[in-house]
Structure 1
Amino acid sequence: MTTATLNIEDLRALIAGALETEPEEVTNEAHFTDELEIDSLMLLEISTRVENAYGVPVDDVVISGVQSLVELHTFLASKIAGEPSA
């Protein structure tokens, strides 16, 4: 696992980079599929970037069911801390 510190702004930039958009477009509560139009292939790309940055396996992110930046941040924080996710 990498030792990168989980920061919501870095996570926002990671998602924006995958979407090739500005970080301001990735608001905290923007729904991934409805507002950001993230499909399954894009979620896989984001999950791969998350794994590279934070060491959380792609499969864990994909099956987590997170639907917003805040949900993803909360999920990753629990995984990195070694706690089971809700």
Structure 2
Amino acid sequence: MLPDIGLEELRAIVAQALELSPEEVGDSDHFAEDLEMDSLMLLEISSRVEKECGVSIEDSSLASVQTLTELHGLVGSLQADGSAA
């Protein structure tokens, strides 16, 4: 299994997908409203997370994630369970 991913590593993944600096992605920034993220960007982030962490995020779980903190919690839960959400 790949190592657990930290909040800062997730921030870098999100920032890269959005073509922002990591400092521009706040823990509680709403992906759609504050960061103007669309569904394709979210799928790109999901793909990168899967590659980095070895966990697969189902579309239904991904759709419910609205902030970096929520994404971190979901990924951490998946890594602890060793399963897909």
TM-score range, shorter chain: 0.7 to 0.9
- Secondary structure at the counterpart of residue 81 of structure 1: helix
Which of structure 1's runs of 4+ aligned residues deviate more than 4 A? none
| Corresponding residue pairs, total | 82
Task: After TM superposition, give the deviation of residue 3 of structure 1 in Å.
Answer: 1.1
RMSD over equivalenced CA pairs, Å = 1.9
TM-score (norm 2): 0.87
Q: Which residue number in structure 2 is paired with residue 49 of structure 1?
A: 48
TM-score (norm 1): 0.86
Q: 1:12 to 1:4 in 2, by over 3 A?
A: same
Name the CA distance, whole Å, in 1 between partners of 2:66 and 2:82.
20
Q: Gaps spanning 5+ residues in structure 1: where?
A: none
Q: Gaps spanning 5+ residues in structure 2: where?
A: none
Identical-residue share of aligned pairs (%): 48
